[in-house]
Amino acid sequence: MKRNVIPPYANDAVAHLKRVDPILGDVIDRVGPYAIRRRPERFHSLVQAIIFQQLAGRAAQTIFDRFVKAVGGKRFPTPALLLAASDEVLRAAGLSRGKMLYIRDLATHVNNRTLNFHRHSRMTDDEIIADLTRVRGIGRWTAEMFLMFNLHRPDVLPVDDLGVRNAVGRLYKISPAPTAKELREFGERWRPYRSVASWYLWQSYNIITPDGAVAAPDGAAKKATAKPPTPKPIPRKVSAGKAIAGQTNARKTVSIKTGAAKTTLNALAKSVAARKTRAIIKKY
C-alpha cells in the first residue's frame, strides 16, 4: 500500500509560501501539511504513465492490470520481459500500436542503460527532463510529474497542467485562466518551492466547508449545486389579461433562473480537466 511522505523541505516550503503569498497561505491552512505519495519506483511509473495517456482512469487501470498480469505475472515486468513480449500479448492486454511502441522504446533505453535512473540524483531538473523526453511517448508534463512525485524535487512548476492553471484563475480571480507563459511569470513568487505550490493548488479543489460548499480563498463559499425555486402558481380567480401577464413574468423568471443555473454548470465544467488531471496524478 502506498503511503504519504513529508519531504525534508516541507516545513521551510510552507513557511516561505505563506510569507510571500497570503492567498496560497489560506489554502495551506485549510488543506493542512504537505504530504505526497511515496513513489520509489522508476520504470514502473513511466510505463504506467504512458499506458494511462488519453484514457479515463478506470479504463486505463484495467488495461494496466491486464498488461502486468500478461507480461509479468505476479510482479511488474522487467524491461527484458517487456521486450520479449509479443505483439499479440500486448494487444490482448488492450495496448494500442502507439503505446506498444512507446513502452518498448522505454524498455530499450532502460535495458541498454542509455536511460539510467541512478544518474538522476546528480542531474538538474532540466537535465532529467531532457533525459526522459528522449523516450518516445514521454513529454515534458510526464517528466515533470516524475520529478515531483518520484524524485520529490521541490521546485517544479507544470505550466501546461490545466488543473494548476484553472486553480490559479479561480483563486486569484484571473479570467480567463492564465496561459502557460503567464503562469510561469506568476509562479516566480513561489520559487524555490513551486512543486509545493502546485500541490496545494491541486488540493484547493478539495476544500469543503461544513455546509458542503466549495470554499473560496477569501472565506466566501459557493454552492456546488443550486436548485432554482419553483415559480409560484398563478391564482385561478384572475382575469384573463392578468393570467397571461403572470404567465409571461413566470416564464421570464424561469428563464433568468435557468440562465443562472447554466452559468453555474459552465463554471463547474471548467474544473473537469482539473479532475482528470488529479485522477492521473493519483495513479502516477
pLDDT (tens digit, 9 = 90+) per residue, 61-85? 999 999 999 999 989 999 999 999 9
Per-residue pLDDT, averaged over 111-131, amounts to 97
Helix (H) or strand (E) holding 101: helix 97-111
Is the predicted pLDDT of residue 222 greater than 50, yes or no? no
Q: At what angle do helices 140-149 and 194-203 cross, to 10 degrees?
A: 100
Is the predicted pLDDT of residue 227 greater than 80, yes or no? no
Written as nine digits, the cell of 252 is: 421570464
Mean pLDDT of the chain: 81
CA dist 83 and 105 (Å) reads 9
Q: How far lies 133's CA from each of 41, 117, 144, 156, 214, in Å? A: 18, 13, 10, 16, 37
Per-residue pLDDT, averaged over 114-119, amounts to 96
SS3 254: helix
CA dist 148 and 51 (Å) reads 19
CB 213 within 8 Å of CB 185: no
In terms of phi and psi (left: phi > 0; alpha: psi -120 to 50; beta: otherwise), the region of 173 is left
The DSSP secondary-structure symbol of 208 reads B
> Quick one: pLDDT band at residue 265, thresholds 50, 70, 90?
very low
Smallest CA-to-CA distance from 204 within 284, 283, 274, 279 is with 274
> What are the residues whose beta carbons fall under 8 Å from the beta carbon of 73, sequence distance 6 or more?
none
Q: Which range, 16-30, 31-45, 220-234, 260-274, has the best average confidence (pLDDT)?
A: 16-30
Range of lowest pLDDT (102-111, 222-231, 258-267):
222-231
> Quick one: pLDDT band at residue 244, thresholds 50, 70, 90?
very low
CA dist 6 and 24 (Å) reads 19
Hey, which bits of the chain come out as E strands? 4-5, 36-37, 214-215, 221-222
> Quick one: pLDDT band at residue 225, thresholds 50, 70, 90?
very low
Each residue's pLDDT tens digit, 142-170: 999 999 999 999 999 999 999 999 999 99
Residue 86 identity: S
Q: Tell me, what's the pLDDT at 208?
A: 59
Range of lowest pLDDT (132-141, 144-153, 158-167, 257-266):
257-266
Work out the percent of the chain whose per-residue pLDDT is above 90: 65
End-to-end CA distance of the chain: give it in Å, rounded.
14
**What is the model's pTM?**
0.73
